[in-house]
Amino acid sequence: MSVNVSMAMIPAAVSEFMRGPHRLLIDGKWVPAASHRTFPTHNPADGSLLSDIAAAEAVDVDLAVTAARRAFDDGPWSRMAPAARAKLIWKLADALEAQAEEFAFIETLDNGKPLNDAKVVDLPHSIEVLRYFAGWCTKLNGESISISNPGTWHAYTTREPVGVVGSITPWNAPLMMAVSKIAPALAAGCTVVLKPAEQTPLTALKLGQLILDVGFPDGVVNILTGFGETAGAAMTAHPGIDKVTFTGSTEVGRLIVRAAAADFKRVTLELGGKTPVIVFPDADIDRAIEGAARSIFSNAGQICNAGSRLYAHRDVFERLVDGVSRRASEIRVGAGLAASTQMGPVVSQEQLERISGFIASGQNQGAEIRAGGGRIGSEGYFIQPTVLTGTRPDMDVVQQEIFGPVLCAMSYDEADLDRIAREANATNYGLGAVLWTQNLSTAHKMARKLKAGTVRVNGGGLDPALPFGGFKQSGWGRELGREGIEGYTELKSVAMAL
């Protein structure tokens, strides 16, 4: 980190927003928590206090669910013409685009990510997700079914909104996560209670302002800031919520499934990952180095789909590890608002300690540090981009999600694709996998063998139209794409004797 950095000037509108007060959005109004309790949110770049935020608890959850139920059951939203819903969601996208600069600043202050990343990744993707799902409002069809005795009766299916959705989101891409859950729910005709992560509540609150500005009916979107153990748990237990969508840790995913079992709430879970990056000897190695480095160091590794396990063929392993380690040492780590920054701090002291703990455990179990490995400075939560070699499949660093800029690099020396796939598949997770090869046959064969929700070959990113989700303990269901919106519907079969 250099000392004399030029920091981006915070726009006046952002400073004004930061001052607050930050309250809960319930039934179209901003209200304090019933308890009047608040909690602080901090800037990960220096640990300073940004704002005090209303701390919702069970009583507030109850009020928000009541409002969402009314907006759904009495129809201002679920019975609004799909084209009218589409128009409002599109207006929200336009409003977000008009204030993209402010949102990017707020995201950087609250989460720590480089301002440029917020501008070129988080904001455009959020806007596109809204527009993509706005388009689906008018295209949610059932099917007519070819039943076994045609002519005597007729049958068809319809898709109906599932009802009130409780969305619980994480801190790594706060706005993107909030929008990825709100947009398909609204497009399907559901109403929403959203609880953003306690570490990063600000962009969700700012989004709440836009939701009011563009004229969504009261109660259609309610936003409750607060902690997981209180507000989050009260949502998953609430009988007025029909579906819970969650992105976060596998551990909390398990708690949510248990709570949802009480009344069989519908559940979609986007949990952890341990994505393998498999490099074949015929790959374009320079591009593979770039891609592997980007996959683990973007957003300081705080991405569920981060490429955290590198498997490179023995013939290219040294070149790859050298290249990725060199990239690691060149990345400019610093405050998200500094113009030169390529990687920001991690989100909190807790995450910093968790990541450092993983690096230490890797070393204790025999891994070597080829790049990074340490904390940077003593203020803020900065950690060096890190490459570990000598890691074995049984180590914690290879099995568990670190959620930081830490790559475990391993080699293989066989040609048998089944054995390579078996090693790549040998974790409890199954969110993503990345392949680097110029051989189409290898690419297609491996894509079939990998137990992962998303397989990327030689690059490729996130797209609102492409379903995203995990095999195994990486989750239940899919977000984005047609499957993403269908997850917010119930399927009804209608049968009719002729």
The residues of the shown chain that bind ligand NAI, judged by CB under 6 A, are 168-170, 172, 195, 197-198, 227-229, 232-233, 236, 247-249, 252, 255-256, 270-272, 304, 351, 354, 401, 403
Tell me phi and psi for residue 463, to 5 degrees. -140, 140
CA Rg value for the chain: 23
Least CB distance to ligand NAI at residue 67 (A):
20
Q: What is the torsion angle, in degrees rounded to the nearest 10, for the CA atoms of residue 170, residue 469, residue 163 and residue 497?
A: 180
Sequence-ordered list of residues with C-beta below 8 angstroms from that of 194, at least 6 positions apart, any chain: 167, 169, 178, 181, 182, 204, 221, 222, 223, 224
Instruction: Give the 3-state secondary structure percentages of the chain, helix then strand then coil, rounded to 5.
Output: 40, 25, 35
Helical packing angle, 100-111 and 174-188, nearest 10°: 120
Active site residue 270: yes
Distance CA 385, CA 297 (A): 7
User: Which is nearer to ligand NAI, 38 or 325 (by Cβ)?
Assistant: 38
Catalytic residue among 57, 107, 198, 270: 270
Distance CA 333, CA 352 (A): 14
Q: Taking Cα atoms as reference points, which of 202, 265, 269, 270 lies closest to residue 235? A: 265
Joined tokens for residue 250: 């596998």
Catalytic residue among 198, 304, 401, 479: 304
User: Which is nearer to ligand NAI, 233 or 293 (by Cβ)?
Assistant: 233
30: which strand partners?
25
User: Which is nearer to ligand NAI, 332 or 354 (by Cβ)?
Assistant: 354
User: Which is nearer to ligand NAI, 5 or 58 (by Cβ)?
Assistant: 58
User: Which is nearer to ligand NAI, 102 or 401 (by Cβ)?
Assistant: 401
Least CB distance to ligand NAI at residue 201 (A):
9
The residue sitting closest to ligand NAI, measured at its beta carbon, is: 228
Centroid of chain to Cα 57: 24
* CA quadruple 334, 104, 132, 220: dihedral sign: positive
Active site residue 160: no
Cis peptide before 21 (omega within 30 of 0): yes
Least CB distance to ligand NAI at residue 170 (A):
3
Distance CA 197, CA 204 (A): 9
User: Which is nearer to ligand NAI, 336 or 432 (by Cβ)?
Assistant: 432
Least CB distance to ligand NAI at residue 349 (A):
12
Catalytic residue positions? Answer: 270, 304
